[in-house]
Amino acid sequence: EAGVAQSPRYKIIEKRQSVAFWCNPISGHATLYWYQQILGQGPKLLIQFQNNGVVDDSQLPKDRFSAERLKGVDSTLKIQPAKLEDSAVYLCASSLDRTGFGYTFGSGTRLTVV
């Protein structure tokens, strides 16, 4: 079974620029999650989708972050404009259903904002 695919693996941008990350979940997984992992900390949930609808985005800084999941499959996470404190690894995960079991994580995108 193919895993959760993310791209790019690494991205370096200047502050105030915009950036987008892409995630392709495991086939058939209805629930998709984006996490932010700052160096030295555990992952923090940013947004959770059930199919193509948002279930929880309470921790998403909506003034600069946005995410969408078109057709309930792939998802993109965008930051515009980026700040220095956005430097982190952005992890995508998917699970079979909204109960959360079977979480599978992608390898992440490491963002450095300079």
Among 41, 63, 70, 71, binds another protein (CB under 8 A): 41
User: x-or-dash pattern for another protein, window 57-96, by CB under 8 A?
Assistant: ----------------------------------x-x-x-
Q: Is 109 one of the binding residues for another protein (CB under 8 A)?
A: no
Alpha carbon dihedral 25, 106, 69, 16, in 10-degree steps, equals -160
- Cβ proximity to another protein: between 55 and 80 the closer is 55
User: Cα separation of 73 and 6, whole Å?
Assistant: 13
In the three-class reduction of DSSP (H, G, I as helix; E, B as strand; rest coil), residue 78 is classed as strand
Q: Is 8 one of the binding residues for another protein (CB under 8 A)?
A: no
User: Cα separation of 111 and 114, whole Å?
Assistant: 10
Q: Is 45 one of the binding residues for another protein (CB under 8 A)?
A: yes
| C-beta separation of 94 from 34 below 8 A | no
Residues at the contact surface with another protein, assessed by CB under 8 A: 3-4, 31, 33, 40-45, 48, 50, 55-56, 91, 93, 95, 98-101, 103, 105-108
